[in-house]
Amino acid sequence: MAKYTIGIDFGTLSARAILVDVKTGKECPESGVFDYPHAVMETELPSGKKLPYDYALQHPQDYLDAISFVVPEVLKANNVSPDDVIGLGIDFTACTVFPIDADGTPLCLTEKYSDNPLAYVQLWKHHGAQEEANQLTATAVIRGETFLARYGGKASSETLFPRLWKIAKDDPELYADMDQYVEAGDWIVGQITGSYVRNSCAAGYKALYHEREGYPSKEFFKALDPALENVIEEKIAKSPVRPIGTKAGEINAAGSKLTGLNEGTAVAVAMIDAHAGVPGTLKEAAENQMVLIMGTSGCQMSICKDEHIVPGCFGVVKDGMLPGFYGYECGQSGFGDHYAWFVENCVPEKYAVAAREQGKDLHQYLTELADKLVPGESGLLALDWWNGNRSILVDNDLTGLMMGLRLTTRPEEIYRALIEATAFGTRVIIDNLDRSGCPTEAIFATGGIALKNPMLMQIFADITGRPFKIAGSKYGASLGSAVMGALAAGTERGGYDNIFDATAVMANLTDIEYQPIPEHVAVYDKLYEQFLKLHDYFGRDGSDAMKVLKQIQLDAIAAKGE
């Protein structure tokens, strides 16, 4: 009888579960999908309470509703019994964090804090603690803290401690009432097993944890704010850090009721969603490989045998993606949602009508039109900062830019320029890694975009001047989590004890490869020179125009009373 593991990917807007045959690596044809009812709360809470600018919150009940739907759904859709499921793996967006009480109840679900924005889940793209991130960087520099170099020399509001510090400053009572501040992935694992642990992936990349040094010192946190002197002991260390690829616990009675899985089913330590794409893609791990995760945001995940200081890298963690390798995380805060913004807000109705008449969605219709253009034909050049810059500038106050617009500019030209912008941004990251001693010798792209959009993939090959290989699963993160579920089960239950034995069978690659087209590369090299000029002028020390505009906007909103 076949044995299966389940991989659940908790993304920005939905959760998806897949079933994988442990011994053949074959994915079952049907997945289970659940869209979060509250989606991303960026303007107001469910009560109608208005949110400050740059907030991006979620509701933890959505995660419970998701797991209670997708697991039974994927089993039913593929006619698989819970008796044949040996393990479960979970990946989650990160840093996606919130305060809980000693019983694991999110404080936003209590009457006292139901209308308090700081008690809700702060999603990965929440930028409400940028001031605290800037101050953390300044304090670390003054004190000569060595940990900062592992994070590109700059703290980000997309990480745990700036957000926790903001709570301590702005709402000391909430800070005092929380028992722990947890990653959503670790929380959902705790909800179904009763075992609360911190996964080494999120702890390393998002919470300044080092496998030898631990968290930053008590003295550092006291220098930040006396209220934080004992933050590790009081709010973090109650849940120990556990390596990815190990078992967090087993499905308990509450977990069985929630998921329909049998009590005793092995559950893996959680993992960050993008990072899970690495074991879901690489059948044979070797150093100097990059996995490009193409989703709502973009993540460039590189593995290398040695540890290097990489300016602007979002983090380097030993064994953070695969055992035996240092994993380097870089990324773009806007990727798929960069394209979606344009389609949802800027496309004329006549395009929507034409797309409907041809039975296509707008992305497909625009792609077909944009594919008829040659490199440079639009006369446009864009920066990919619609949601700030994660790497290598690590500055969430940067904004988008489009140059070359004219009265003759067409929507498909803008759409293609936005795609080109994300490819140029990827090249900046690759070049930065190369200069820092972590060369990129092979690139693998994973995600639905990589499989569905040949034009986009060819643009990435042409702009970077490198071949791109394509992962075989549309759900690379879910597949990586299924691999972790097989490791949690171990050989004793029909799984694996070694991750490379598991990925050799379960990871999935196609034979599709995109090669750079020389004449396209020549044009894009010229455009890249201009991209770098804009990148450095607006992103480094040339002009603060973007930040001035943002401050004027905030002042206007405040004056308006919204």
Residues 233 and 263 in one domain: yes
Evaluate whether residue 266 is within a structural domain. yes
Residues 270 and 296 in one domain: no
Q: Mapping DSSP to helix (H, G, I), strand (E, B) and coil, where does residue 451 land?
A: helix
Residues 295 and 342 in one domain: yes
Residues 211 and 133 in one domain: yes
**Are the beta carbons of 193 and 248 closer than 8 angstroms?**
yes
CA distance 327 to 338: 26
What letter represents residue 167's amino acid?
A: I
Evaluate whether residue 283 is within a structural domain. no
Q: Which helix (H) or strand (E) holds 25?
A: none
**Least confident window among 6-10, 106-110, 207-211, 553-557:** 553-557
Query: Would you give the distance in Å from CA 71 to the centre of its chain?
Result: 22
Q: What is the CATH number of the domain that holds 328?
A: 3.30.420.40
Give the list of residues 6+ apart from residue 173 with CB closer than 8 angstroms, or none.
none
Residues 465 and 494 in one domain: no
CA distance 439 to 159: 26
Evaluate whether residue 115 is within a structural domain. yes
pLDDT per residue over 532-546, tens digit each?
999 999 999 889 999
Evaluate whether residue 155 is within a structural domain. yes
pLDDT for residue 339: 94
DSSP 62-117: HHHHHHHHHHHHHHHHTT--GGGEEEEEEEE-SS-EEEE-TTS-BGGGSTTTTT-G
Evaluate whether residue 280 is within a structural domain. no
Report the pLDDT averaged over residues 32-39. 98
Evaluate whether residue 282 is within a structural domain. no
**Least confident window among 218-227, 429-438, 443-452:** 443-452
Evaluate whether residue 338 is within a structural domain. yes
pLDDT for residue 411: 98
Q: Tokens 């309470």 label which residue?
A: 49
Residues 45 and 177 in one domain: yes
Interstrand relation of 266-268 and 381-383 (parallel, antiparallel or unpaired): unpaired
Q: How confident is the model at residue 562 (pLDDT cuts 50, 70, 90)?
A: low
- Domains in the chain: how many in total? 2
Q: Where are the beta strands (DSSP E) in 251-398?
A: 266-268, 271-272, 289-294, 298-304, 315-318, 326-332, 381-383
Omega within 30 of 0 (cis) for the link into 470 = no
* Other residues' Cβ atoms within 10 Å of the Cβ of residue 408: 7
Angstrom CA distances, 299 to 93, 332, 471, stand at: 12, 6, 15
pTM attached to this predicted model: 0.91
Residues 498 and 379 in one domain: no
Range of the domain at 83: 4-275+477-509
What's the per-residue H, E or C state across 390-407?
CCCCCECCCCCEEECCCC
pLDDT for residue 448: 83
CA distance 389 to 421: 12
Residue 243 pLDDT > 70: yes
CA distance 535 to 305: 30
Angstrom CA distances, 446 to 16, 469, 474, 492, 509, stand at: 16, 9, 7, 31, 9
Residues 258 and 293 in one domain: no
Residues 201 and 250 in one domain: yes
Phi/psi of residue 471, each to 5°? -65, 150
Q: How confident is the model at residue 394 (pLDDT cuts 50, 70, 90)?
A: confident
pLDDT for residue 497: 96
Q: How confident is the model at residue 287 (pLDDT cuts 50, 70, 90)?
A: confident
What letter represents residue 440's amino acid?
A: T
Evaluate whether residue 281 is within a structural domain. no
Residues 374 and 485 in one domain: no
User: By CB neighbour count within 10 A (0-12 exposed, 13-18 middle, 19+ buried), where does 314 fall?
Assistant: buried
Report the pLDDT averaged over residues 166-191. 98
pLDDT per residue over 92-138, tens digit each?
999 999 999 999 999 999 999 999 999 999 999 999 999 999 999 99
Residues 256 and 394 in one domain: no
**End-to-end Cα distance, the chain:** 60
pLDDT per residue over 412-428, tens digit each?
999 999 999 999 999 99
Residues 12 and 76 in one domain: yes
